[in-house]
Amino acid sequence: MLIHHLRVLPLLVRMHVRSQMEYRGAFWLDRLAQILSYGSVFATIGILLARFDTLGGWTWPELALLFSFQLLAYSLGAAMSFVQLRDLEELVRLGTFDTLLVKPFSPWAYLVFSGLNIGYAGHVILAVPLMGWAVQSVDFAWSVWSASFLIAALLSATLLTAALITMIGATALIWVRSNHLFSIFFGFWELTRYPLNIFPGGIQTILITAVPLALTSSVPVGALLGKPIPILGDWAGPVALLAGPIWVLISIAYWRYATGKYQGAGG
């Protein structure tokens, strides 16, 4: 069964990538627009720092590292989940999710890999050079350990992002509608471009527990740079590394629970 899955997955990805690249001009124009959009967010933070020097004790290169880490972790995680799970609501509403259930294939794997989104290329094109610049510009002595921590934390943040998006999408299997939960997700996600310590205690707690998006940005980057992390303190590093795998297990359990509750809403 597993070998059958692994053999089919590259075919699903290839088919979807071909369909996305059919209109190459439009594809790259969309990516350019996204680079401009995130670039303007980054420029806004730059203007703020040009006038105020620091934000919550973080300097401009440190915030650039935080911004690039947040964008990269999100784009890698969302490429594997966001559009696919956002569209699940519509599949449930129209009843077409039923057709996935009768395929001899995992519905989650089919959804994710048949819709693997290469549209996040724009995010990656912006985030990688920015991270390269930030890594060289921060006042920090890099070592093999710290570089390994950065990569492992990025992987954990990617898994955590995909797990959270999967759980939001899976809620549609129970409630039929779940896309409004994405507005809460993105509301909090925008905050994670900034250091956690600048927010009120209630928001800090939510960002570490119920909507743990701080673990995809300021917690790992703060732990790496030795910044004081609210609530977690010295545990920030280990928690950031473990968060991804643990939330993946929680999301698997939730997906199974939601699939069990699914009754079909379409005709």
Q: Could you tell me which stretch among 80-88, 141-149, 183-191, 241-249 binds other proteins (CB under 8 A)?
A: 183-191
In angstroms, the CA 229 to CA 170 distance is 31
Nearer to other proteins, 9 or 173 (CB): 173
Taking the C-alpha atoms of residue 56 and residue 150, their distance in angstroms, rounded to an integer, is 21
Among the listed ranges 81-89, 128-136, 151-159, 192-200, the one in contact with other proteins (CB under 8 A) is 192-200
Least Cβ distance, residue 101 to other proteins (angstroms): 25
Figure out which of the listed residues 183, 210, 260, 267 binds other proteins, where binding follows CB under 8 A.
Answer: 183
CA-based nearest residue to 192, from 177, 175, 211, 176? 211
Count of beta carbons in the 10 Å neighbourhood of residue 217: 29
Interaction between residue 210 and other proteins (CB under 8 A): no
DSSP 233: G
Q: Is residue 21 near other proteins by the rule CB under 8 A?
A: no
**Of the residues 104, 200, 260, 267, which one makes contact with other proteins according to CB under 8 A:** 200
Residue 158 is a binding residue for other proteins (CB under 8 A): no
Instruction: Enter the tokens of residue 239.
Output: 């928690």
Beta strands in the chain (DSSP E): none
Closer to other proteins at the Cβ: 29 or 253? 29
CA distance 267 to 257: 23
Asked if residues 219 and 229 have their Cβ atoms less than 8 Å apart, the reply is yes
Q: Under the rule (CB under 8 A), what is the footprint of other proteins?
A: 23, 26, 29-30, 32-34, 36-37, 39-41, 43-44, 47-48, 50-57, 175, 177, 180-181, 183-184, 186-188, 190-191, 194-195, 198-200, 203
